[in-house]
Amino acid sequence: MPLARYKAHQMGSATIEPKGAFEAGSFESFTLVYTAGYFGIDDTGSIKVVHRFASDMGKPQFTDPKGWNYTTVEASNGAILQVEYDGKRNIRPWDKTLFVRVVRGFLREGDQLIVRFGDRRQGSPGMRVQTFSEPTFEYKVLVDAFAAYEYTEILDSPTIAVVAGPPVAYKAVLPTLRQVGEPFRFGFKGEDKWGNPSERVSGRITLRASIPVRGLPQAIDLQPGQPALVLENLVVDKPGDLRIDVLRDGAILASSNPCRFTQDAGVRHYWADLHGQSEETIGTNSAQDLIEFGRNVAFLDAMSHQGNDFQITTPFWHELNRLTAQYNEDGRFIIFPGYEWSGNTGLGGDRNVMYLNEGRPIHRSSHALVEDLSDADSDANSADDLFQALRDEDVIVFAHVGGRYADIAISHDARIERSVEVHSDWGTFEWLLEDALDKGYRVGILANSDGHKGRHGASYPGASLFGAYGGLSCLVAPALTRAALAESLRKRRHYATTGCRAVLDLKVQFTEDATIFSDDPKLGRAVTSHSAREAEMGDVVQYGGNEAWIEFELLTEGAIESIEIRNRMEVVECLRPYTKSDLGSRIRIVWEGSEYRGRGRQTVWDGSATLDGNAFIDPRPINFLNLDKELRQSAPGVLDWESLTTGGFSGIDTRLADPKQGTLHINTPLIQASLQVADIGLLPTLFEAGGIKRQMQVYRLPDQNQCRHYRARIKVPLHQGSDNAVYLRATTEDGFFIYSSPVYVTRDAGNN
**Are residues 556 and 599 part of one domain?**
no
Q: Find the domain containing 678 and state its range.
A: 580-702
Query: pLDDT tens, 538-580?
Result: 999 999 999 999 999 999 999 999 999 999 999 999 999 999 9
**Are residues 508 and 490 part of one domain?**
no
Q: How confident is the model at residue 583 (pLDDT cuts 50, 70, 90)?
A: very high
- Give residues with Cβ within 8 angstroms of 574, minimum separation 6: 562, 563, 564, 565
Mean predicted confidence (pLDDT) in 192-201: 96
**Are residues 661 and 717 part of one domain?**
no
Helices (H), 619-747: none
- φ/ψ (deg, to 5) at 314: -60, -45
Last residue of a domain, one of 228, 262, 296: 262
Let me know: does 637 contact 612? Beta carbons within 8 Å. Answer: yes
- Give residues with Cβ within 8 angstroms of 474, minimum separation 6: 176, 269, 270, 271, 272, 494, 495, 496, 497, 501, 502, 504
Query: pLDDT tens, 27-46?
Result: 999 999 999 999 999 999 99
Query: pLDDT tens, 307-337?
Result: 999 999 999 999 999 999 999 999 999 999 9
Q: CA 195, CA 462: separation in Å to the nearest integer?
A: 8
Does residue 146 register a pLDDT over 50? yes
Mean predicted confidence (pLDDT) in 193-208: 96
In a domain, 326, yes or no: yes
Composition of the chain by helix, strand, coil, percent to 5: 10, 45, 45
Question: Buried b vs exposed e over 110-137: b needs ≥16 C-beta within 10 Å?
Answer: ebbbebbbbbbeeebbbbbbbbbbbeeb
Q: CA 215, CA 238: separation in Å to the nearest integer?
A: 14
Mean predicted confidence (pLDDT) in 673-680: 97
In a domain, 270, yes or no: no
Last residue of a domain, one of 232, 262, 292: 262
Identity at 531, one-letter amino acid code: S
Q: What is the CATH number of the domain that holds 252?
A: 2.60.40.730
Give, as one character, the DSSP assignment of residue 683. Answer: S
Instruction: Indicate the number of domains in the chain.
Output: 5
pLDDT of res. 2: 55
pLDDT of res. 470: 96
Does residue 264 register a pLDDT over 90? no
Does residue 750 register a pLDDT over 60? no
In a domain, 515, yes or no: yes
Q: What is the CATH number of the domain that holds 58?
A: 2.60.40
Query: pLDDT tens, 619-656?
Result: 999 999 999 999 999 999 999 999 999 999 999 999 99
Cα angle 345, 350, 351; round to 5? 140
**Are residues 193 and 156 part of one domain?**
no
**Are residues 225 and 246 part of one domain?**
yes
Last residue of a domain, one of 163, 183, 204: 163
In a domain, 272, yes or no: no
Q: How confident is the model at residue 749 (pLDDT cuts 50, 70, 90)?
A: low
Q: Which residues pair with 502 in a beta bridge?
A: none
Tell me the three state secondary structure of residue 319: helix
**Are residues 187 and 58 part of one domain?**
no
Does residue 162 register a pLDDT over 80? yes
pLDDT of res. 1: 43
Q: Which of 654, 646, 573, 553 is nearest to 610 (CA)?
A: 654
**Are residues 696 and 584 part of one domain?**
yes
Q: What is the CATH number of the domain that holds 428?
A: 3.20.20.140
Whether the bond between 93 and the residue before it is cis, its omega within 30 degrees of 0, is yes
In a domain, 273, yes or no: no
**Are residues 223 and 202 part of one domain?**
yes
Does residue 403 register a pLDDT over 60? yes
**Are residues 520 and 495 part of one domain?**
no
Q: CA 581, CA 690: separation in Å to the nearest integer?
A: 34
Let me know: does 623 contact 653? Beta carbons within 8 Å. Answer: no
Mean predicted confidence (pLDDT) in 716-744: 97
**Are residues 540 and 495 part of one domain?**
no
In a domain, 269, yes or no: no
In a domain, 615, yes or no: yes
Q: How confident is the model at residue 716 (pLDDT cuts 50, 70, 90)?
A: very high
What is the Cα Rg of the chain in Å? 27
Identity at 91, one-letter amino acid code: I
Query: pLDDT tens, 477-515?
Result: 999 999 999 999 999 999 999 999 999 999 999 999 999
In a domain, 271, yes or no: no
Q: How confident is the model at residue 752 (pLDDT cuts 50, 70, 90)?
A: low
Query: pLDDT tens, 97-112?
Result: 999 999 999 999 999 9
**Are residues 432 and 355 part of one domain?**
yes
Query: pLDDT tens, 55-87?
Result: 999 999 999 999 999 999 999 999 999 999 999
Q: What is the CATH number of the domain that holds 511?
A: 2.60.40.10
**Are residues 256 and 234 part of one domain?**
yes
pLDDT of res. 277: 95
pLDDT of res. 525: 85
Mean pLDDT of the chain: 96
